Amino acid sequence: MPLDHEVNSGTIAPLRNVTLFNEVVKRVVNRPRHLPGMATFHGFSGYGKTFSATYAANKFRAYYVEVGESWTKAKFCKSLMIELGLQPKGTVADMVDAIINQLVVTDRPVIIDEFDHVVRRRYHETIREIHDKSGAPMVLIGEEMLPQQLAASERFHNRMLDWVPAVPADVTDAIALAELYAPEIAIADDLIDHIARQAGGRVRRICVNLEKVRETARSEGWGSVDLKAWGDRPLFSGQPPARRG
């Protein structure tokens, strides 16, 4: 499927992981057909993997499924069928056949988020079957140990085109997120840097702290704020508060 199928995705912060994920999708979509068409995008919780995936799903008209911890193979197939616009019915084998047939027709990529749950529930070979028989490009998203989990299955491991780690958020990501989520406040570079360092690479923590700054600025009547003005106000670092007393 050529990438003139990209669509306008609206406003989004130009985060590094968004760019990385877009490149992964392009790689599996544009690969020569004699090469495998699956890749992983893996990394620590809070790095913005799902944020990146939902953007790419819209940009490349990909089918997107976020797997639940409790999902069985049947539940996964039903959810993917609904995403494909199909009516779930029949046995698991019937649903797999219907999924394969639809993916052959549409020739669109598939993004499967929280793929760790699929591996733990041991139905990743069903996803391999869907990939092999449909030729659909697939990107599998999971935590940092996902490549090692998949290495235990040689047949699945051999279908991988690439293993791409998500990167921790840095100050450039914090600047982009501030422009998106707090555009009405001029946040100085020293405070942005402080927020980025406190976040430990987690996009989610940066967003939480930007909201703290935005709320404080609104209550204080600030149009701009730097580290000196912020003072010793706490930022969320992910660590639980110390016990009192």
Q: Is the pLDDT of residue 244 over 70?
A: no
Give 80-103 pLDDT, tens digit per residue: 999 999 999 999 999 999 999 999
The neighbouring-strand residues paired with 66 are: 113
Give the domains, in start order, of the chain with CATH numbers. Answer: 16-165 (3.40.50.300), 171-230 (1.10.8)
User: Tokens representing 150?
Assistant: 């998949």
End-to-end distance of the chain based on CA atoms, in angstroms?
A: 63
pLDDT for 245 equals 52
Compute the average pLDDT of residues 140-168: 94
pLDDT for 243 equals 60
**106 dihedral zone (left: phi>0; alpha: psi -120 to 50; beta):** alpha
